[in-house]
Amino acid sequence: ALALAAERKGKDDHPRTYGKEIDYGTAGFRSKAEHLDHILYRMGILAALRSRVKGATVGVMITASHNPVADNGVKLIDPQGEMLEMSWETIATDLANLNDNELSAALIHIIEKENIDLAKPASVFFGRDTRPSSEQLSNAALEGSRVFNADVKDFGIVTTPMLHYFVAAHNSNNEYGDPTVTGYFFKLTTAFRSFREEIISEKGPESGNYQPAIVADMANGVGGPIMKQMSELIKDLLTIEFFNTGEGELNHESGADYVKVRQTLPKRVRIKSKDRCVSFDGDADRIVYYYQDQSVKFRLLDGDRIASLVAGYLRSLLDIMGIELNIGVVQTAYANGASTKYITEVLQIPVACVYTGVKHLHHKAQEFDIGIYFEANGHGTVLFSKKAKVLAKAAREDKRLNGGKRGAARKMLTFIDMVNETTGDSISDLLIVETILHARGWSVEDWENSYADLPNRLLKVTVKDRNVIKVIDPECHISEPEGLQEDFDRLISMFTQGRAFVRPSGTEDVVRVYAEANTQSSADKLAVHIAKLVH
Ligand code: 16G
Ligand code: ZN
């Protein structure tokens, strides 16, 4: 009966008006906002089913991240704040692309196959970004969940990682924190404050070359209003000068993606030489740092830099504590070769390479006691195993250990509290980076000086069918079209420190090209030649 009611309501209020298939891709469904109403309605239904399968609260986030303002999207969040299990991505895609009159049969099929007891309660949390289309799409999803008798809670405009946190916190019976905006701010800022006080009590108020002030570009997204609220709570410790906080068009000429891809400053930002700057993306799950050096040259510190900074610092805490934990860094093929070399050779930390997309990195990072994952584009976080937390707590309480060891354990635990372990989070990542720079007494230049990036170039190529390119491993070697990899290899071998690959994008209808080499002009040349071979 529920399935039939859902089908009727779908036909009446949320009919499918868009003929083309849309996939649950790397980061959920994404398309022009006007194509998505029926998908949102159906995802609301699916979330109510998923919640019953897991016996826990799940989340529905309405956002298209760094995409243009006319786009929108939706992704589901599983009970521990992780991304939807991959086998359900197929279920989601199938459900999204049905005709209106096939809905009830499909729902009954899912209910039977997954053995779902509709008498059980269901609970779904909702959040959305600042796009003009988000509220209406959110309402469609809410309606879907309600048709299937789910208990719904709408958090309104929040960042993507906040919703991940709310879901995880609620399902942990508040052990992970309070599942409220206040609870989220409290968890992060309390940790940030106690860490800083710990360092100040050790070293005094001056911290070397570190200046407690940053310039922040919010991409005109949800980061604007949220970060402003948060910054009030720590304004005595960190001064933030905001730009692009919502007065202009979302993601337009600003934000982490713009800065990373173009390797240039966002528009409408006023900075001085050596100011430490950050850019969030539209839903605040990515962050990059940058500055302008004396010669007004733009210098980027991306996700690879954050990974190296975090890995180096946590390694040093572990060394002081003297406990054995396996620590590892997870990257993708986009990681700058120099960062991989630095992490493995200087920091002596193993690096794993996985396919692009947060879920792959997250999954791999769970294999370590301390798993640090960052995509070069600035999306990432740190995961700590139960064992890591238990050992750090034991060390903190162990009166036989010296003050240095216990202090390092205390820092490790405070650090853990500052991390949003559910997913990459611009706000949490910002606090982490600021904390480590302060603890190290580093300016942004000191940070950059730990190693020199290899010059690189990203390009996109439009082809008739991007899926003729078949990537066969995380390093992005290709098996098809036949012979093309050999052509690439020949070309690459002509460049000193050359490395290059292509892959079909999971979010846009293009093929992406990445190349790096010992000079910028070589990297540019290599990228262009590879792009020509793809055409
Ligand atoms: C999505 C992914 C991001 C990945 C990007 C690659 C999530 C939350 N986001 O934005 O991790 O880097 O896609 O895009 O998984 P591409 O396939 O277009 O290169
Ligand atoms: Zn994003």
Supply φ then ψ for residue 64, to 5 degrees: -125, 30
Which tokens hold the place of 53? 């399968």
Lining residues, ligand 1, CB within 6 Å: 26-27, 65, 356-358, 375, 377, 379, 505-508, 512
Q: How far is the CA of 465 from the centre of ligand 2 (A)?
A: 26
Pairwise CA distance, residues 40 & 47, whole Å: 10
Tens-digit pLDDT profile for residues 490-516: 999 999 999 999 999 988 889 999 999
CA-closest residue to ligand 1 atom 19: 505
Q: Which long-range contacts (CB under 8 A, 24 or more apart) does 172-178 make?
A: 172/80
How many A from CA of 206 to the centre of ligand 1? 39
Q: How many A from CA of 107 to the centre of ligand 2?
A: 30
Candidate from 23, 71, 358, 429 with most ligand 1 atoms within 8 A of CB, to mutate = 358
pLDDT tens digits along 358-378: 999 999 999 999 999 999 999
Active site residues: 65
512 labelled ligand-binding: yes
Average pLDDT over residues 410-431: 98
**Nearest ligand 1 atom, CA 504:** 17
pLDDT at 77: 98
- 268 annotated as a binding-site residue: no
**Which residues sit opposite 330 in a β-bridge?**
352, 373
Q: Please tell me the distance from the alpha carbon of residue 9 to that of residue 6, in angstroms, as a whole number.
A: 5
CB 177 within 8 A of CB 183: yes
User: Token pair of 271, please?
Assistant: 């900075």
Query: What's the mean pLDDT when you consider all of the chain?
Result: 96
Q: Count CB neighbours of 270 within 10 A.
A: 9
**Alpha helices, H only, 467-518:** 484-492
Residue 509 or residue 169, greater confidence = 169
Interval 310-335 mean pLDDT: 97
- Please enumerate in sequence order all residues whose Cβ is within 8 A of that of 399, keeping only pairs 6 or more positions apart, or say none: none
Using DSSP, state whether 441 is helix, strand or coil: coil
Residue 35 CA to residue 23 CA, distance in Å, equals 12
Q: What is the pLDDT of residue 125?
A: 98
Tell me: is residue 65 an annotated ligand-binding position. yes
Nearest ligand by distance to the CA of 422:
1
Nearest CA to ligand 1 atom 16: 505
pLDDT score for 159: 98
Q: What is the mean pLDDT of residues 56-73?
A: 96
Residue 451: CB atoms within 10 A of its CB come to 17
**The dihedral formed by the CA atoms of 180, 182, 184 and 185, expressed in degrees to the nearest 10:** 170
Q: What is the pLDDT of residues 72-97, one digit of tens each?
A: 999 999 999 999 999 999 999 999 99
Q: What is the pLDDT of residues 200-250, one digit of tens each?
A: 998 888 899 999 999 999 999 999 999 999 999 999 999 999 999 999 999
Q: If you average pLDDT over residues 46-63, what whole number do you get? A: 98
C-alpha 357 – ligand 1 centre gap (Å): 5
Is residue 422 part of an annotated ligand binding site? no
Pairing of strands 239-243, 380-384: unpaired
Compute the distance between CA of residue 149 and CA of residue 390 in angstroms, rounded to an integer. Answer: 40
Phi, psi values for residue 520, rounded to 5°: -65, -40
Report residue 174's pLDDT band, with 50, 70 and 90 as the boundaries. Answer: confident
> Ligand 1 atom 12: the closest Cα is on which residue?
357
Helices (H), 366-483: 386-397, 403-418, 426-440, 444-448
Closest ligand 1 atom to Cα of 332: 12
